[in-house]
Amino acid sequence: MKGVVFNLLEEAVVREFGPDVWDDLLLRADLSGAYTSLGNYDDEEILALVEAASAALNLPRAEVLRWFGRRAMPILKERYGAFFERHASSKSFVLSVNSIIHPEVRKLYAGASCPFFHFREDAAGAVSMDYDSSRRMCDLAHGFVEGAADLFEETVDVSHAACMNHGDAKCVMEIRWAR
């Protein structure tokens, strides 16, 4: 997992709960916590942090990930504003993830293994998003979508039609924007 994700998580936790909570999470997860955005760290570390947060906050893991995704979005916008500027809606932003955002990620991290999201848009404007990753972080993606909707001041509903965490071969999320 890229260091920038750890940085985002730290930032989100510090903003909402203060720096001590982040230190506590690191202690619980038994991690050093020295993350630079340019670094690449073991996937286990992010999972351990999510577990620690889940235990500390008494929230399911999925909830933690969704919370994190949602809170990370404004921080991302502060750091990488250009990706947001060219979009008028969260939908077009979400749809640009494969063609714009992930190529940009690869510029920084040669060989980065970004998940590929397969999008299908129906006549009503709803988008079905396939997610297939060994990290099984569909809830993070879910949170990102919600966070994006917040940024564009839109309301969105995300439901998991299929989920790897529930034994499906891949995740399928149905995303509906409120009119």
Q: Which residues contribute to the site for another protein (CB under 8 A)?
A: 36-38, 86, 99, 103-104, 106-108, 110
Q: How far is the CB of 37 from another protein (least distance, A)?
A: 5
Task: Give the nearer residue to another protein in terms of CB position, either 12 or 173.
Answer: 12
Q: Which amino acid is at 65?
A: L
Q: How far is the CB of 26 from another protein (least distance, A)?
A: 15
Give the C-alpha separation, 101 to 105, whole Å.
Answer: 6
Q: How far is the CB of 39 from another protein (least distance, A)?
A: 10
Task: Give the nearer residue to another protein in terms of CB position, either 108 or 161.
Answer: 108
Task: Give the nearer residue to another protein in terms of CB position, either 37 or 133.
Answer: 37
Task: Give the nearer residue to another protein in terms of CB position, either 110 or 124.
Answer: 110
Q: How far is the CB of 66 from another protein (least distance, A)?
A: 26
Q: Which amino acid is at 11?
A: E
Instruction: Specify whether the CB–CB gap between 29 and 52 falls below 8 A.
Output: yes
State the Cα angle at 142 between 174 and 79, rounded to 5°: 135
CA 113, distance to chain mean position in Å, is: 15
DSSP run (H or E) holding 171: strand 171-177
State the Cα angle at 47 between 68 and 74, rounded to 5°: 20
Task: Give the nearer residue to another protein in terms of CB position, either 117 or 131.
Answer: 117
Give the C-alpha separation, 43 to 135, whole Å.
Answer: 8
Dihedrals phi, psi of 121, to nearest 5 degrees: -110, 130
Q: How far is the CB of 86 from another protein (least distance, A)?
A: 6
